[in-house]
């Protein structure tokens, strides 16, 4: 069993999707939040998952917070750390500590629209498609190796909330799949640092979107 620690700051709907997926070979070792009022903590506790709070407000610096967070993660023997709506910018040292085993999901088709307000920016840009990306975290924000992406059309009558809802539904589909591939040992990297799945054809660039499977 691979131990997974999930970090949240709020409801943690992607955390819920991963827990509800019941991924074979995976054990959700803990759900940790930087906010004591995060609603996702109750969801996890109700399912017998250990929870912890490392309140960022209790620390004088990002470095001190990240050190305490890492210590808490490591007590649970995390083999994979999953960011699920964790609204803190992590220090480079923290990211390097978990290199190759720290995943995030971003509500856009990276490398387009990194950072915040992705749905608003997609609508303002007039793109025809939008989506979500699961990627490994690197020190450069939203620029890590892409694991999987999902595409949704941008409709003529879309506003931010309608577009966000369709993207979120796809997030709930692809994040458990990415975790499953990690647990199954299918994820590797090519010479350019791009993700390659065992059994996947070598052709294609860094934005290749592998097919979902069980």
DSSP codes of every residue in 65-110: HHHHHHHHHHHTT-SEEEESS---PPPHHHHHHTTTSEEEEESS-T
| pLDDT (tens digit per residue) in 48-70 | 999 999 999 999 999 999 999 99
Whose tokens are 């190796």? That residue is 145
pLDDT over 70 (residue 212): no
Does the annotation mark 106 as catalytic? yes
| Rounded distance between C-alpha atoms, residue 48 and residue 213, angstroms | 28
Fold (CATH) for 104-214: Rossmann fold (3.40.50)
Q: Rounded mean pLDDT of 182-191?
A: 97
pLDDT over 90 (residue 205): no
Query: Do 192 and 202 touch, CB atoms closer than 8 A?
Result: no
Q: Rounded mean pLDDT of 190-211?
A: 67
- Please give the share of the chain, as a percent, with pLDDT higher than 70: 93
Catalytic, out of 56, 76, 106, 135: 106
| pLDDT (tens digit per residue) in 138-182 | 999 999 999 999 999 999 999 999 999 999 999 999 999 999 999
Sign for the CA dihedral angle at 117, 120, 126, 128 comes to positive
Query: Do 148 and 210 touch, CB atoms closer than 8 A?
Result: yes
| pLDDT (tens digit per residue) in 88-129 | 999 999 999 999 999 999 999 999 999 999 999 999 999 999
Q: What is 1-98's CATH number?
A: 3.40.50.170
Taking the domains of the chain in order of start, what are their residue ranges? 1-98, 104-214
């Amino acid at each position: 069993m691979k131990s997974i620690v999930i970090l949240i700051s709020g409801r943690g709907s992607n955390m819920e999707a991963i827990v509800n997926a019941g991924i074979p070979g995976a054990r959700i070792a803990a759900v940790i939040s930087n906010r004591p009022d995060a609603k996702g903590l109750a969801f996890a506790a109700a399912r017998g998952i250990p929870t912890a709070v490392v309140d960022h407000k209790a620390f004088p610096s990002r470095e001190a917070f990240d050190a305490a967070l890492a210590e808490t993660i490591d007590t649970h023997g995390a083999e994979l750390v999953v960011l699920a709506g964790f609204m803190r910018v992590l220090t480079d040292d923290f990211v390097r500590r978990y290199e190759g085993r720290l995943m995030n999901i971003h509500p856009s088709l990276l490398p387009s629209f990194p950072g915040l307000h992705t749905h608003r920016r997609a609508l303002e840009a007039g793109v025809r498609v939008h989506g979500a990306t699961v990627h490994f975290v690197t020190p450069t924000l939203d620029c890590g190796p892409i694991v999987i992406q999902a595409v949704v059309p941008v409709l003529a009558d879309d506003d931010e909330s309608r577009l966000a809802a369709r993207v979120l539904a796809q997030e709930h589909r692809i994040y458990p799949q990415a975790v499953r591939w990690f647990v199954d040992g299918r994820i590797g990297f090519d010479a350019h640092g791009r993700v390659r799945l065992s059994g996947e054809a070598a052709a294609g660039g860094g934005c290749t979107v592998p097919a979902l499977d069980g």
